[in-house]
């Protein structure tokens, strides 16, 4: 909360090249994998470039790895048959007095109903880094829990559009976790998650005015 209230350096979004390629691919009804292969080849060439900085090289290799993972898990993600389209640039919404920005990667329209979807490509927490089954299970559970709350946020976003995009349908909302190879839908206790988010925002709104800047900020 402190970092959200007080100024910080601009946030640079990681995995941008991979995300742009995957969004474009899944929004295209043809789903031509040549699109992804061309981006992967360009990233691999970039990573081998003379004079490339280590950080840029790591980013290029990571994006190429994400595209590989998506192509490997595409069938299990089950996105190919879904009517995915480009979402608008949504305005921030108010949740119990807190301004929240939610930007899904896709809209899903079926008849007069509408849902939204997100791709999750972030590595942490990484289940494949675990040697023990129980540790791996905990990390997989963590990723699924996060997906359930993201879906709850997407429903709140669609509800806030007041029918302009169609009738919100939580069953059309999903998170496609590329690293798990799973398309995750709403939790069985979905409405509890929505209530939890509202309660969390109420608490944030209540505490917001009491948050003071840390001492190191005054020294700058």
pTM summary value: 0.91
CB 158 within 8 A of CB 195: no
Partners of residue 155 on adjacent β-strands: none
Gap between the Cα atoms of 69 and 72, Å rounded: 5
The reported pLDDT for the residue numbered 124 is: 87
Tokens describing residue 78:
């089950």
Gap between the Cα atoms of 177 and 111, Å rounded: 26
Of 38, 35, 36, 155, which Cα lies nearest the Cα of 100?
155
167-195 burial by CB neighbour count: b if 16+ within 10 A, else e? ebbbebbbbbbbbbebbbbbbeebeebbe
Stated length of the chain: 220
Partners of residue 176 on adjacent β-strands: 119, 183
The reported pLDDT for the residue numbered 3 is: 65
The reported pLDDT for the residue numbered 2 is: 60
Tokens describing residue 24:
């474009």
Tokens describing residue 184:
């995750």
The reported pLDDT for the residue numbered 5 is: 62
Of 214, 27, 55, 215, which Cα lies nearest the Cα of 119?
27
Output Rg (C-alpha) for the chain, integer angstroms: 19
The reported pLDDT for the residue numbered 211 is: 79
The reported pLDDT for the residue numbered 7 is: 63
CB 158 within 8 A of CB 106: no
Partners of residue 119 on adjacent β-strands: 176
Which regions of the chain are under pLDDT 50? Answer: none
């Amino acid at each position: 909360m402190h970092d959200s209230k007080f100024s910080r350096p601009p946030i640079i979004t990681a995995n941008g090249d991979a995300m742009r390629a995957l969004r474009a691919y899944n929004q295209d009804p043809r789903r031509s994998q040549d699109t992804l292969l061309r981006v992967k080849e360009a990233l691999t060439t970039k990573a081998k470039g003379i004079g490339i900085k280590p950080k840029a090289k790591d980013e290029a290799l990571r994006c190429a790895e994400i595209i590989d993972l998506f192509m490997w898990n595409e069938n299990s993600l089950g996105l190919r048959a879904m009517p995915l389209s480009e979402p608008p640039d949504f305005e921030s919404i108010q949740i119990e007095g807190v301004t929240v920005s939610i930007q899904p990667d896709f809209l899903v329209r079926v008849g007069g109903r509408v849902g939204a979807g997100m791709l999750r490509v972030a590595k942490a927490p990484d289940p494949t880094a675990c040697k023990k089954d129980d540790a791996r299970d905990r990390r997989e559970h963590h990723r699924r829990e996060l997906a359930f709350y993201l879906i709850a946020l997407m429903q709140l976003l669609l509800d806030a559009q007041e029918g302009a995009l169609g009738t919100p349908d939580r069953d059309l909302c999903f998170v496609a976790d590329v690293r798990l190879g799973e398309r995750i839908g709403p939790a069985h206790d979905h409405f509890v998650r929505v209530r939890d988010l509202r309660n969390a925002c109420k608490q944030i709104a209540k505490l917001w005015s009491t948050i003071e800047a840390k001492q190191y900020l005054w020294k700058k």
